Structure 1
Amino acid sequence: MGNPRIPLFLFFCILFSRVFALSSARFSPPDNHLIACGTASASTLDDRRVFLPDSAALLRSSGSKISVLAVPDASPASSPLSRTARVFTRPSSYEFQIKQKGTHIIRLHFYPFSSRDFNLSSALFHVSASGFVLLTDFGTSFPQLKEYLVWVDAEKLVISFAPARRSSFAFVNAIEVVSAPGDLIGDTARLVNPDRIEKFDGFSRQAMETLYRLNVGGPKVTPFNDTLWRTWVPDAGFRNSDSVSKTVAFSGRIMYREGAASREVAPDNVYNTARAVDGANVSDSNSNMTWVFAVRSGYKYLIRMHFCDIASRALYELYFNVYVNGYLAYEDFDLSMATGFLASPYYVDFVAGVDSLEQLLSVSIGPSKQSNHLWINGLLNGLEIMKINNTMGSLDGESPIILVLESPARRGFGAFLSSIVCGLGFMSLLMIGFVLLLKWRAETRNTVTWLPLPTDVSGGKSANGNPVVSSKLVYF
């Protein structure tokens, strides 16, 4: 008989090698700055990330560097990051050394608690980073996490805060600056116009703000289960139709392919659930799944749609159309042709603007001409909506960065100085005009007084007595 311990030994070796492979494959960003602001000690989150005090970052300020602590029972959230903050009464900035140039994820944590000296809910301020305006006249009375994707091609990233008014202040509770994986943001997308689809180039160099991130057909995904520490919320609150959809769950292995969507693009928990159009329930009245989002006009938006066929019984049984804002964005989409496998992730990036009156962005999935009522007629696993910076390099308003970052005190003095200069100039013009008027009147009087008399005079009378006298679907 052979040694019975050998199979057990081999089992543990195989198990260890798999665990090691999984751990080594987990994304390790070259730049990973996690800063807890206003505290003197490190903070550990539930997802096991450790945030260091902001003394670990280079903080520059033209005023006092004020650290504030929430009064007892005033912290609005359970996160350890919600208990302290850094307050700025003058323009200030954090500088982060960058090891690897490229797209970086910036997350700003705001927990507006009350302290002994400050009520953070009354703050009003601007924020910029890497030449882009992130926030203008920003203030909040509830906890917010703002996430941005910004291209960094310098050796340092500067995140600046400036009070919006002379009497106001800025604050921040925590900052994340993390290198994004190389495959997270591509350089091209499909630009959806009312009459045509175009290629959108130079996409990776834009700045973007994450607005919505949905796990379609599935539960909430927390940062603990995402390699990039993102949160994916259920899609229930955004659906505009559910007559033809059904949820699908998958317990098998998601097949990530080299050169295709990775776990950093979206985690397993997003790809192993989906919402699908059941061909048996399709009718001519309304056969589309539709999601609607409130957005601002004046910007273009990235719509990233995540697909993974976990519902079909075989390849080449899934065909569907994609609509953005009611316009046909992708006709007869064949997911099998794109991946070559079932349960293999794939995503498509679309770019579109919104109507200035509606300020709504809609995304729909529906049957195509190649669909069969015996098959699944449409499927979606995940959906992300991101705002793209405008022509001013801003994600929040039309102000250029030089105005956003200018000190309110300097703006006040400059306005005062300008008013003085303008006032003096106006008074000078008035004086010059007055002098010219006096001179003109004097010359006029002189002309009348010294006018030569006529040489031909008869009977005491003058000899000359002349007097001087922008195919759309509508969803209900």
Structure 2
Amino acid sequence: MEAFPKLDPRSFLLLCACALPALALSFPFSPLDNYLLNCGSSVDAVVDNRAFLGDAPGSGGSRVLASTRTISLNDASPALGTPQIYHTARAFARPSKYVFEVRDRGTHMVRLHFHRFDSSRVELGDVRFHVLVDGYVVLSNFSGESASRPVIKEYLIWVDAEKLLVDGGKLVNFNGLNRQALEVSYRVSVGGPKVTPFNDSLWRTWVPDDAYLKSTYGSERVLFGGRIKYQEGGASREVGPDNMYNSARVIKSTNATVPNINMTWVFPVTGDYKYLVRLHFCDIASISLELLYFNVYVNGFLVSKDFDLSRVANEVLAAPFYADFIVEGDNSGILSVSIGPSNYSFAHAIDGILNGVEIMKLNNSMGSLDGEVCGGFILKSWPRGNMGVVVPLVAVICLLLSISVVMRWRTTGVSQTVAWTKLPTDMTELSLKQARQQFR
């Protein structure tokens, strides 16, 4: 394995193997640290009004590339309409890294963009590689997946550059959910159309819920043309955009009885991981306050009984609110979310509503989001000397600092029927410490 120069752990976010991070800039959301890279290119590219800097020598983004013996690749025949950042790539023949100075500690959003294409310089074949972000294994034996369209992976990583190592190299114990690494598995706009990055202040994509809704029976779509009333201390546009909150699915009573039906969404997940389930609510359908009460279920368990959206939204209609729940994945490979009427629901009224769903995988005890392997083991087992396979890193990775409201974990009342378990915060030294030390 190549010996990399030692770096000051208080000043850098390290991404190793085949990772390429960057911080993104938005208006009015403007984080302190901002990077966008157009990998393998000597020119800048503009996508959704964002300027991605080329990382080739002499380009604006070259200073963060801390590895040598890399190869710039160009797609000679890019598909029509493919953004310019997917026309180039950077490939590596050995473990490599990009290093970004982080001035503001906290949770950072890391986006990795991959797109396989044919190149006369490198035969990609069935190449596979690993990606580590600050010691966390985010991708293991990854191939880039689809050859026909770009693939985007998104993660939330805690960076505390001044407290990574203490007492001669012992890892500081994580304390709370905001110290976990998370992978975004699903981001769904319920009842509405696709929300594109151009219409989201954090450039997220929210897909329609049709593919996950178990049955349309008993539910109605609602679209809202008024103003979403973001409240101080509540959800902000960085938590969820207007275009997500102004649509929903509802259960509606049209006669003197309350419907005995639930709306249910089903999501395939990987077992042996815990998941953060974030549910977005905004009452855009009721004609008055204090008319909407319903129950919330996750994996069939009642997690919020007689949920009063008027109360949690400070008695304001069309005011967004979100609630987070932690659930353990099981052998079924399914995670379900259900909304149904409660004992307080009214006839001739809205008896259930959901605007959006986000599901995020939490790292396991090995510090991994992709398998039972830790970063230290991956780096120590990498073959020495020359290798006949070039490992590709495709397109661009975006890293943006999430403001505190995005990562404020809101808790709600939980029924005693749900067995909540301790988060996997007890990290072994092999899981993170060795991975970080390998790249200093």
Place the TM-score, normalised by the shorter chain, in its bin: 0.7 to 0.9
5 Å matches for 1:79-98? 79-98=83-102
- Counterpart Cα distance in 1 of 2:92 and 2:37: 16
The residue number in structure 1 matching 2:401 is: none
Contact 1:271-1:382 at 8 Å conserved across structures = yes
**2:107 equivalent to 1:103:** yes
Alignment TM-score, normalising by the size of structure 1:
0.69
Contact 2:280-2:357 at 8 Å conserved across structures = yes
Which residue, 319, 331, 334 being the options, matches 1:344? 319
- Counterpart Cα distance in 1 of 2:123 and 2:386: 24
**2:354 equivalent to 1:380:** yes
Which residue, 322, 330, 334 being the options, matches 2:308? 334
- Counterpart Cα distance in 1 of 2:83 and 2:372: 34
Contact 2:130-2:140 at 8 Å conserved across structures = yes
Deviations 1:416-435 (A, max 9, x none): xxxxxxxxxxxxxxxxxxxx
Return the offset for 1:123.
2.4
Contact 1:135-1:395 at 8 Å conserved across structures = yes
5 Å matches for 1:200-349? 202-280=176-254, 287-339=261-313, 340-349=315-324
The residue number in structure 2 matching 1:67 is: 72
Instruction: Report the count of equivalent residues.
Output: 346
> What is the letter of the counterpart of residue 305 of structure 1?
L
Which residue, 29, 33, 36 being the options, matches 2:35? 33
> What is the letter of the counterpart of residue 115 of structure 2?
Y
Any unmatched runs of 5+ in structure 1?
A: 1-23, 158-200, 414-470
Contact 2:253-2:259 at 8 Å conserved across structures = no
Return the offset for 1:70.
1.2
Return the offset for 1:280.
2.9
Q: Which secondary structure state, in structure 2, belongs to the residue aligned with residue 81 of structure 1?
A: helix
Against the structure 1 CA distance between its residues 283 and 328, is the aligned structure 2 distance closer, same or farther, given a 3 Å change threshold?
farther
Q: Which secondary structure state, in structure 1, belongs to the residue aligned with residue 244 of structure 2?
A: helix
- Counterpart Cα distance in 1 of 2:359 and 2:43: 36
The residue number in structure 1 matching 2:64 is: 58
Higher helix share: 1
Return the offset for 1:119.
4.1
Return the offset for 1:155.
6.7
Q: Which has the higher contact order (CA 8 A, sep 6+)?
A: 2
Contact 2:253-2:350 at 8 Å conserved across structures = yes
Any unmatched runs of 5+ in structure 2?
A: 1-25, 165-174, 388-416, 419-440
5 Å matches for 1:410-421? 410=384
- Counterpart Cα distance in 1 of 2:277 and 2:119: 40
- Counterpart Cα distance in 1 of 2:340 and 2:50: 41
Against the structure 1 CA distance between its residues 284 and 261, is the aligned structure 2 distance closer, same or farther, given a 3 Å change threshold?
closer
Deviations 1:65-93 (A, max 9, x none): 111111325x5861111110000110000
Deviations 1:371-394 (A, max 9, x none): 112111100111101111111111
The Cα RMSD (Å) is 2.5
The residue number in structure 1 matching 2:143 is: 139
Against the structure 1 CA distance between its residues 208 and 141, is the aligned structure 2 distance closer, same or farther, given a 3 Å change threshold?
closer
Return the offset for 1:254.
1.0
5 Å matches for 1:341-420? 341-356=316-331, 358-406=332-380, 408-410=382-384
Against the structure 1 CA distance between its residues 281 and 219, is the aligned structure 2 distance closer, same or farther, given a 3 Å change threshold?
farther
Against the structure 1 CA distance between its residues 353 and 77, is the aligned structure 2 distance closer, same or farther, given a 3 Å change threshold?
farther
Contact 1:325-1:354 at 8 Å conserved across structures = no
Against the structure 1 CA distance between its residues 203 and 156, is the aligned structure 2 distance closer, same or farther, given a 3 Å change threshold?
closer
Bigger mean CA offset, 346-355 vs 403-412: 403-412
Alignment TM-score, normalising by the size of structure 2:
0.74
- Counterpart Cα distance in 2 of 1:97 and 1:130: 12
